[in-house]
Amino acid sequence: MAEKKRSMGVAVMGPMRSGTTLVADLLTVRGRSLVISEPNLLGVWHPTLAQTIHRLVTEFGIEASPPPTAKPPARIFGYFDRFILPELQGLDFWGVKYVDLYGWPQLFQRYRPRKLILCVRDLREVAVSAIELTERMKLGFPGGTHMRDEAWVLSRLAHSVHELLALRRLPHFVLRYEDLVEDPKVRERLADYVGLDELGTERLNLTIERDSRQSWESRKHGSGVTKKALGRFEREPPGPVRDLAERVWRLLGEYSVAFDYEVAEPKARIQGHDFSAPARPGRNPVPYEKAEIWSWKGPRQFEPSFARRRARRLASQNIPAGAVVLDLGGGLSSMITELPIGSRLIHADVIERTPQTKAADLLHGKLPPKGAATFVLALDILEQVEQPGRFLKALRGYGLPVLLSYHATDDTADLDRKALGWRSHLSREQLLRGLATVGFKVTTSWAFDGRQSLLKLRPVPVPALKTRAEAEDAA
């Protein structure tokens, strides 16, 4: 097909959770324009995705042949170009929206966009929202064997930020999510930019999403544009997710400057990191393909989310088969895919991120009831607890075997613990003493990844002589 015929009216690009699907729907007006969400046109053939595209196009009112079941093309565009694109030519315009920005130069080479919209949002909000999305949809790494984790969220956001900074070199329209949902004039400007006299009012692109996403989002926002998702970061209580969000924001100040968001204080900024923005955009420092591997080790620098990934991996080899595991780590329930056969996960967090989450004030040692749990996981959480004694005592209260991870001060002399948001600073010896005091027998694997230790705790009777206060003090 001639290159001219393949050019598209608009491309909507942005990091996940920056309102790209909403924008795709606002720019979709029956009979006039259609913006397709995540068609992955250059990707290898994927029957489900091809079906989704076909469903969207049919819902929109275009009759197109369904994807071939026999002898499918090698890539999605083989189907799209032949059966969908000719139908789209009759519209005022068509376009795509992507949050997976890998390979956009090739996409734009094949389907040159006449207009480009860059969707952005405060990175802290994006991170908190991305955790919720991952948790609600139980997003998996390619292959589906392992659930995506916090380290993936960090890597993906960093990757997208660098691609966005490179995309800025093309003529574009910046659309801040905060303005989009708050200011009707911004929506008018959006319509003007693409040449529509009015924006779409249906949520076609949201409807074709998996139920785990669309039902939740539709319930939250209805079919309108609401401000309910603003202030996500403000509402997020202290804990691993808030720390992750802040860390992403501190790491990628260039994005905040480019798109007019607040920037961290000089001392709080993370500089000289493998994921930091290069002096000239274009060469992405985050390797996309490696970031899609569940066991990728990540940047050379210490990253708590990657440490958590390592702790989970080691912990998974130490959980007995058939265990009902109470995970006190908060954040994502990625352990769910790492458990031995016959095991079950009860996930606790500082906030009820999904209906299945047990919310509890973990950082203050107020742990959730154990329920049916037979085993407890406390990975990457003790560092964030201000009174570790109280936390350990509550942990002992379960009377269950525990796997605990910790970065002892002996092993982290090179880290600025406060900059990582850590609130407890125990040496190996202090930790062992505290555990003994509250009544745990400990098997240690000190600094298994160079810094982080994993401890197997088995409850034993507490020595009778010490009072409660003494035990807490000692811990």
Partner 1 sequence: MSEEKGVPVKIPNRGTPMGVAVMGLMRTGTTLVCDLLTVRGRSLVISEPNLMGLWDPPLQLKLHRLYREFGLDLPALPPRPSEYRSNIEYFDQVVLPQLKSLELWGVKCVDLFGWQRLLRVYPPKRLVLCVRDLRAVTISALELVNRMGLVFPDSKRMRDEAWVFARIAYTVQELMALRAVPHLVLRYEDLVAEPAARDRLAAYCGLDRLGEERLNLTIERETRSSWELAKHGNEITRKALDRYDEEPEGPMRTMAERIWRMFPEYSLAFGYDVPAPKLRIRRHDFCVGPDPGINPIKYKETDVWNWRGPKQLEPVFGRRRARMIVALNLKPGAVLLDLGCGTAAMRKMLSKASSHLPADVAARAPLFVVSDIYRGELPPGGEATHVAALGVLEYVEDLPAFLQALRGYNLPVFVSYYATDDTPDVERAALGWKNAYRRNELMRMFIAAGFQPAPKWAFDGLQSLFRLIPRQVMAGKRRRPRAKIILQGGPRAAAGKPAPKPKGKSKKELEPV
Binding site for partner 1 (CB under 8 A): 165, 168-169, 253-254, 257-258, 260-263, 265-266, 269, 271, 278-281
Task: Give the distance from CA 198 to its chain's centroid.
Answer: 33
Rank residues 167 and 395 by Cβ distance to partner 1 and give the closer one: 167
Rank residues 115 and 353 by Cβ distance to partner 1 and give the closer one: 115
Q: Which residues share a beta bridge with 93?
A: 33
Q: Classify burial at 245, counting beta carbons within 10 Å of its beta carbon; exposed 0-12, middle 13-18, buried 19 or more.
A: buried
Rank residues 9 and 253 by Cβ distance to partner 1 and give the closer one: 253
Least Cβ distance, residue 304 to partner 1 (angstroms): 23
Q: Are 271 and 265 in contact, with CB atoms under 8 Å apart?
A: no
Q: Are 200 and 26 in contact, with CB atoms under 8 Å apart?
A: yes
Q: Are 54 and 62 in contact, with CB atoms under 8 Å apart?
A: no
Rank residues 267 and 468 by Cβ distance to partner 1 and give the closer one: 267
Rank residues 258 and 381 by Cβ distance to partner 1 and give the closer one: 258
DSSP state of 39: -
**Is beta strand 173-176 parallel, antiparallel or unpaired with respect to 113-120?**
parallel
DSSP state of 368: P
Least Cβ distance, residue 257 to partner 1 (angstroms): 5
Task: Give the distance from CA 309 to its chain's centroid.
Answer: 14
Q: Are 161 and 255 in contact, with CB atoms under 8 Å apart?
A: yes
Least Cβ distance, residue 168 to partner 1 (angstroms): 4
Q: Are 438 and 396 in contact, with CB atoms under 8 Å apart?
A: yes
Rank residues 186 and 263 by Cβ distance to partner 1 and give the closer one: 263
Least Cβ distance, residue 23 to partner 1 (angstroms): 21
Rank residues 279 and 469 by Cβ distance to partner 1 and give the closer one: 279
Residue type, 78: G
Residue type, 184: P
Least Cβ distance, residue 157 to partner 1 (angstroms): 18
Strand ranges of the sheet holding 33-37, from the earlier edge strand across to the other edge: 33-37, 93-98, 8-13, 113-120, 173-176
The tokens for 224 are 């309108």
* Tokens 């009831």 belong to residue: 369
Rank residues 224 and 266 by Cβ distance to partner 1 and give the closer one: 266
Least Cβ distance, residue 176 to partner 1 (angstroms): 10
How far apart are the C-alpha atoms of 388 and 427, rounded to whole Å? 12
| Ramachandran area for residue 300 (φ above 0: left; ψ -120 to 50: alpha; else beta) | alpha
Question: Which is nearest to 99 in space by CA: 37, 172, 51, 158?
Answer: 37
Rank residues 263 and 359 by Cβ distance to partner 1 and give the closer one: 263
Rank residues 281 and 434 by Cβ distance to partner 1 and give the closer one: 281
Question: Phi/psi of residue 31, each to 5°?
Answer: 80, -10
Question: Which is nearest to 291 in space by CA: 155, 141, 126?
Answer: 155
Kindly give the residue spans of alpha helices, DSSP state H, lying in 225-284. 232-235, 240-251, 253-258
Q: Which DSSP string do the residues of 131-177 spell out, in sequence order?
A: HHHHHHHT-B-TTSSSB--HHHHHHHHHHHHHHHHHHTTS--EEEEH
Q: Which residues share a beta bridge with 456?
A: 403, 443
Rank residues 157 and 402 by Cβ distance to partner 1 and give the closer one: 157
Rank residues 89 and 271 by Cβ distance to partner 1 and give the closer one: 271
The tokens for 49 are 């995705």
Rounded (10°) angle between helices 304-316 and 240-251:
140
Least Cβ distance, residue 285 to partner 1 (angstroms): 13
